[in-house]
Amino acid sequence: MRPAQSPPSLITLVLLTALSVLSLNMFLPSLPSIGAALEAEYGLVNLSIAGYLALSAVLQLIMGPLSDRFGRRPVLLICMVIFVIASVGCALAQSIWVFLGFRMLQGAVVAGQVLARAAIRDMHPPNEAAAKLGYVSMAMALAPMLGPMLGGLLEMLFGWRAGFILYLLLGAGLLALIWVDLGETNTNTTATFAAQMRLYPQLFNSRRFWGYSFCAAFSIGGFYAFITGAPLVAATWFDLNPALLGLGIGIITLGFMAGSYLTGRLAARARLNNMILFGRVIASVGPLVGLVVFAAEGGSVWTFFGSAILVGFGNGLTVANATAGLMSVRPQLAGSAAGLSGAMTVALGAVLTMATGALVTAANAPFIVLGMMCLSSFAGLLSILYVRRVDQLDPLPDTI
């Protein structure tokens, strides 16, 4: 097969993003079986999630700058080779420590998510990039819904190792697809790391970059708060069975997909900051209304999950646009910007997850969950208002 010489198709970038998300959650139903087969406590097996998340945050800080220096294509090829090898190791592991070691190596696939965003920004101006990112975000929403179901089915039919064999096959397929359909998109690589390092202050000193990054991170943070506390709300306040709980959690994802689709349709014609602002208002009003209704003792399952739909929809209008904005502050550092903002999102999500888990009880569950979602959404609203204020005080030709 001849190596690609032209920019990738959108479907290739969507598939890269989808695999990076599937790698986190498809095997979740198999955690108890992995522990039993490898004679390990559940808490130790759970490091395959917590440790993976922590490592992926660190890797995003590394992969973005590497792709700015050497290009998106070579970094993606190397990371996908590592993922394929690591998937083989996980599938064949006979001890928990071997399994966890290879599982951490699987974190290299996060390059697919980070560098797909950077490649889109390389190929398109900010508004068109936001439109494309809107469609990519739909894959980020759909994969978490379908992944655990697929993983559970594979375990029922073939055992827990089947999920990692599927990771191997998907990784190998995407490696071939990168080779034939992902030509280099970064045409402004720096000559040396020293030259690249001299560019970083331009990014770190940009108030717009931090405004957009915190806006995106707080937007997704509301989702982390929801999935942390929603199971307790469903069980103690509404007596929902696991199937209905899964449907309820999927609702916020469907809202996100709808907002992302609308972004894809409108971003090329609308100002990004206006769409972000509209999304943050919707995401803030939803849980605020839910809190008021619950405080008036009128809360119901429809109130709770309806508030979540509005948060998801507002996030769909926000995330792709904010991502396009933060990568457009310094286009020559789009990979670094995508990696840094991705790491910030994971870190903030971990903080909000821990905070929600520590505060929520059976008695206060809907109030804490809706309150955390409201606070996170409102913080995202303040972040985009800050960006708009910066634009007023210090307008730039590339202001979006």
Confidence at residue 233, expressed as pLDDT on a 0 to 100 scale: 86
Number of structural domains in the chain: 2
- Non-local CB neighbours of 212 within 8 Å, separated by 6+ positions: 322, 323, 325, 326, 329, 341, 383, 384, 387
Q: Is residue 124 part of a domain?
A: yes
Domain CATH number, residue 286: 1.20.1250.20
Each residue's pLDDT tens digit, 222-266: 888 887 788 788 888 888 776 677 677 767 788 888 998 888 888
Res. 139: pLDDT tops 80: no
Q: Is residue 316 one of the residues assigned to a domain?
A: yes
Average pLDDT, the chain: 86
Write the DSSP symbol of residue 64. Answer: H
pLDDT for residue 364: 92
Render pLDDT for 42-101 as a digit per residue (tens, 0 to 9).
778 877 877 887 888 888 888 888 888 888 899 999 999 999 999 999 999 999 999 999
Region of poorest pLDDT, from 41-45, 160-164, 272-276, 293-297: 41-45
135/222 same-domain check: no
pLDDT at 150: 83
> Highest-confidence range of 82-91, 322-331, 360-369, by mean pLDDT?
82-91
What is the gyration radius of the CA atoms in the chain, in angstroms? 21
In this structure, are 211 and 356 located in the same domain? yes
Is there a single domain that holds both residue 160 and residue 77? yes
Domain encompassing residue 18: 10-183
More confident residue, 145 or 97: 97
| Pair 214, 322 in one domain | yes
Q: Which residue has the higher pLDDT, 231 or 168?
A: 168
Q: Looking at the structure, do residues 387 and 355 belong to the same domain, yes or no?
A: yes
In this prediction, residues 361-376 reach a mean pLDDT of: 93
Q: Please tell me whether residues 19 and 128 are part of one structural domain.
A: yes
Per DSSP, 331 falls in state G
Question: What does the pLDDT average to over 25-49?
Answer: 80
Quote the CA–CA distance of 5 and 141 in Å, as a whole number: 30
Q: Which of 135, 151, 183 is the last residue of a domain?
A: 183
Q: How confident is the model at residue 326 (pLDDT cuts 50, 70, 90)?
A: very high
The answer to whether residue 193 is domain-embedded is no
Is 335 within the bounds of a domain? yes
User: Per-residue pLDDT for 357 more than 90?
Assistant: no
| Residue at a domain's end among 183, 210, 237 | 183
So what's the pLDDT on residue 318?
Answer: 94
Q: Does residue 194 fall inside a structural domain?
A: no
Same domain, 331 and 204: yes
Which helix (H) or strand (E) segment is 380 a member of? helix 365-393
399 located within any domain: no
Residue 94 maps to a domain = yes
323-331 average pLDDT score: 89
DSSP 276-315: HHHHHHHHHHHHHHHHHHHHTT---HHHHHHHHHHHHHHH
C-beta separation of 325 from 125 below 8 A: no
User: Residue 307: which of 278, 281, 283, 286 has the closest Cα?
Assistant: 286
Shared domain check, 217 and 77:
no
167 and 215 in one domain?
A: no
Q: Which tokens go with 154?
A: 């594979």
Question: Is there a single domain that holds both residue 102 and residue 244?
Answer: no
Which of 158, 183, 208 finishes a domain? 183
Q: Supply the pLDDT for residue 242.
A: 64
Same domain, 160 and 55: yes
pLDDT at 105 over 90: yes
For residue 193, the model assigns a pLDDT of: 66
Is the per-residue pLDDT at 399 higher than 70? no
Q: Note whether residue 189 is domain-resident.
A: no
One domain, residues 179 and 211: no
Provide the pLDDT for residue 290.
Answer: 94
> How much of the chain, in percent, has pLDDT values that exceed 70?
94
CB-based contacts of 148: which residues, under 8 Å, 6+ apart? 25, 26, 28, 29
